[in-house]
Amino acid sequence: MKTDTIFYRLFQELPSIFFELIGNPPEIANIYQFASVEIKQTAFRIDGVFLPIQNEQSPIYFVEVQFQPDADIYLRLISELALYLRQNKPKNPWCGVVIYPSRDIDIGYKEHFLELFQSQRISLIYLDELGESASLPIGIATIKLVIEEEDTAINTARELINRTQQAVNLQLPQKQLLELIETILVYKFPQMNRQEIEAMFGFSELKQTRVYQEAREEGKLEGKLEGKLEAVPKFLALGLTVEQIAQALDLDITQVQQVVQQISPNQ
């Protein structure tokens, strides 16, 4: 999965994180819709655009995620913006936001557009300069997980999962946050299968992830006993105990144990 795909999904599903990232109240997301915009008759595509919903005073935010060095990025970005404004003629003001993993990736030529950067009409965000993940809001810390080193990413992900579970008055949807953390881990550790990654989640968090729901659906909880028993191996693969599987599938512990014995007769 490409990095910009992760950010596109993040901003589409949890747009308030973007507004936190640029220093605005997350509630502002309620008056925006997010989309990827293709500019007609060109090969240009802007990664993401936050468009105000029926509000001509709020700015349009053009978002670029840049994880590879590109000396022409600002020439391209300004060209895209100018074409968009020409074709759509919006009355709203506009702002550009470019997100980098680190400052050394930013090699774009800025001399032609210094006024835009000095006025912060175009803002630059370097994820590695946001601070320690533990001190950041959960949404921004989740974004930073994308650039976390592999030897620390798993521990950081566990801490994020715990924070999400324990958070009081969490403004972001817990289920979507957990699924996003899961997606980032799959991206960062392609050698790990999804079951191994799911095993990192506690049982209460695991119940909210996509894989758990798929296994639960395959169990046909509203259907016959055979369907439930056939789902037991999938829950075992997720690292659940016999007791947790029985709870999830509404089965007796002895029924689950019988399936486990059939799978591993020597245990």
CA distance 22 to 142: 15
Domain contains 8? yes
- 1: pLDDT strictly greater than 80: no
Tell how strand 60-65 and strand 94-100 pair up.
parallel
State whether 53 and 118 are in the same domain.
Answer: yes
Q: What stretch of H or E contains 38?
A: strand 32-38
Domain contains 198? no
Q: What is the largest CA-CA distance in the chain?
A: 73
CB-based contact 230:196 (threshold 8 Å): no
Tell me the two tokens of residue 49.
């655009």
- 102: pLDDT strictly greater than 90: yes
State whether 242 and 181 are in the same domain.
Answer: no
State whether 150 and 49 are in the same domain.
Answer: yes
Using the 3D structure, point to which of 152, 169, 192 is the last residue of a domain. Answer: 192
Tell me the two tokens of residue 231.
């789902």
CA distance 156 to 112: 40
Using the 3D structure, point to which of 192, 223, 241 is the last residue of a domain. Answer: 192
Using the 3D structure, point to which of 129, 162, 192 is the last residue of a domain. Answer: 192
Q: Predicted confidence band at 262 (pLDDT cuts at 50, 70, 90)?
A: confident
Tell me the two tokens of residue 28.
């502002």
CB count within 10 Å of CB 112 equals 10
CB-based contact 14:176 (threshold 8 Å): yes
Q: What is the pLDDT of residues 40-90, one digit of tens each?
A: 655 566 778 999 997 778 999 999 999 999 999 999 999 989 989 999 899
Q: What is the pTM of this model?
A: 0.72
CA distance 50 to 38: 14
Left (φ > 0), alpha (ψ -120 to 50) or beta: where does 131 sit?
left
Strand, helix or coil for residue 59 = coil
State whether 34 and 126 are in the same domain.
Answer: yes
β partners of residue 48: 63
Q: What is the pLDDT of residues 16-28, one digit of tens each?
A: 999 999 999 999 9
Q: Looking at the 3D structure of the chain, how many domains does it have?
A: 2
Q: What stretch of H or E contains 97?
A: strand 94-100
Tell how strand 122-126 and strand 94-100 pair up.
parallel
State whether 166 and 249 are in the same domain.
Answer: no
Domain contains 197? no
State whether 107 and 143 are in the same domain.
Answer: yes
Domain contains 146? yes
State whether 133 and 235 are in the same domain.
Answer: no
Q: Predicted confidence band at 33 (pLDDT cuts at 50, 70, 90)?
A: very high
CA distance 134 to 214: 31
CB-based contact 26:61 (threshold 8 Å): no
Q: What is the pLDDT of residues 127-157, one digit of tens each?
A: 999 999 989 999 999 999 999 988 888 889 8
Q: Which domain holds residue 187?
A: 3-192
Please, what is the average pLDDT of the chain?
82
**For the chain, how far is it from start to end, CA to CA, in angstroms?**
39
CB count within 10 Å of CB 263 equals 11
Any idea how long the chain is?
A: 267
State whether 77 and 123 are in the same domain.
Answer: yes
Domain contains 200? no
Q: Tell which residue, 131, 112, 130, 132, has the closest CA to residue 122.
A: 112
How many alpha carbons lie under 13 Å from residue 85 in its C-beta half-sphere?
16
